[in-house]
Amino acid sequence: MSSLATRVGVVAAISAVVAGGTGVATAASRPPPGTLTTSLPLATSARTLGGTWATLPMGHLDQPLNTFWQLMFEPAGSSSWSDRVEATGVATNGGIVLAANAKSLVVGVRPSSRLTYSPLIATTNSGRSWSTGLVQNGLAQVPSSLAISPSGAALALAPGRRGGREVLISHAGKAHLVSWEVLLGSRTFASTAPAERCAPSSFTAVGYAGAAPVVGAACGRAGTAGLFTELGGHWTPEGPGIPRSAGSAEVLDLVPTGKGLATVIELHQRGSATESLLAAWSSDATYWRASTYLRLPAGERLTSLGPAGGQGVFVLMTGTGDKERLAVVNGPGSRSWHYLPAPPAETQTVTFGSTGPAQAFALNQSAIEVWDLGRGGGAGKTRGAGWRQGQLVHVTIQFGPLG
């Protein structure tokens, strides 16, 4: 097992009157009213030219105050991960959200305990220095509640001041990630003509296709994808064609691919316990190419989803008996889902290199086991078909009282 070979040297960049970092949990009140929560997983990964980033929870995952989210980094060309990203100087119990373009990474910390807003940190040089920002109302608990365009503009999805959720925009400039404007509100948007076919109940994701903002929603009506794109100052319903028989759609994730945008959509059939996933890709958010359907048996839950190298996306699922399944679809040129060997138990998320093997991040008490798929050699433990442990990252956690 290799030791840590990298360190992201960052001074504490955010100060807040909360118990902080990846260290101590304190007894505290519930999250503030208006903080929306869903069952969507936040554990995921993002790639920049400087390397790969991943976020995952540690600690006692059944105890919110004793769950601590880690931000991991593997520099391009390296084979070692580090958790020593010290700019997250606030409590991370509520979860960490990532957004990236080719050069930049933006990290948001969700509200929890006494933290009622979302601090942001951003880097353009692989974590050697950071700038800071803030989303006053806090980020929604969905994987794509942050997005950054190639030019540096940003979108955030947050609880609305009058209910529902709002899409906020921050233009690149001196006040970047600090000064936000309301771009779209779910309650007012639901009554507009572009939303008529979808009848959105909530916004669920934000992203960029080039310079065009894209908003995902959960639709109340069947037969529409729940994707909306701002083109020429007007919002238009876009997305792949979905037959009414497939059910109503909820956009789970919007993933930048380098050649545009990918999405993962969950389809709910009324009166059925079986749900399906659909992936789709677009270079301009107007024409979308869809994957085949991936069926989710009753009782199976999503653990993580995100990019899978190139234009691919993955979904990690946990079923009965805590058995995990890892499904990947490679992109618009190969649109059928396929399963990779089941990852080790307690896997929280998976990363993929541009051409290299998958890596799984599994929890082992206060340590993170990094498992490589299909990478030979080494004396590490093996698990299942093709997984070999390549690294063990120890994390110091001081648990706190719950009362």
Write down the pTM of the prediction.
0.87
CATH number at residue 53: 2.130.10.10
pLDDT band of residue 35 (cuts 50, 70, 90) is very low
* Domain assignment of residue 28, yes or no: no
- In the predicted structure, residue 29 carries a pLDDT above the cut 60: no
24 within some domain: no
Residue 38 in domain:
no
Residue 205 within any structural domain of the chain: yes
Domain total in the chain:
1
Least reliable range by pLDDT among 89-93, 217-221, 296-300 = 89-93
The pLDDT of residue 136 is 94
Is position 30 within any domain?
Answer: no
CA distance 210 to 196: 26
Q: For 311-366, how does the pLDDT look when each residue is reduced to its tens digit (9 = 90+)?
A: 999 999 988 777 889 999 999 988 899 999 999 999 999 999 865 679 999 998 78
Looking at residue 381, what is its pLDDT?
Answer: 72
Ranges of beta strands (E only) in 66-180 are 67-75, 96-100, 105-109, 118-123, 131-135, 146-148, 154-159, 165-170
Residue 237 confidence class, pLDDT cut points 50, 70, 90: very high
- Spell out where 171-312 has E strands: 181-185, 200-209, 212-222, 227-231, 234-238, 248-256, 261-268, 275-282, 289-290, 294-296, 301-307
Residue 115: inside a domain? yes
Domain membership flag for residue 199: yes
More confident site: 40 or 166: 166
Does the pLDDT at position 12 exceed 60? Answer: no
Neighbours of 67 (CB within 10 A): 19
- The pLDDT of residue 73 is 93
Within 8 A by CB and 6+ apart from 78, the residues are: 5, 6, 51
Dist CA 79 CA 230 (whole Å): 40
pLDDT of the residue at 354: 64
Range of the domain at 147: 44-394
**Distance between CA atoms of residues 313 and 279, nearest Å:** 8
Q: Which DSSP symbol is given to 223?
A: S
- Residue 373: count other Cβ atoms within 10 Å of its Cβ: 20
13 lies in some domain = no
Residue 160 carries which DSSP code?
Answer: -
Nearest CA-CA partner of 167 in 119, 133, 236, 217: 217
What average pLDDT does this structure show over 57-79? Answer: 89
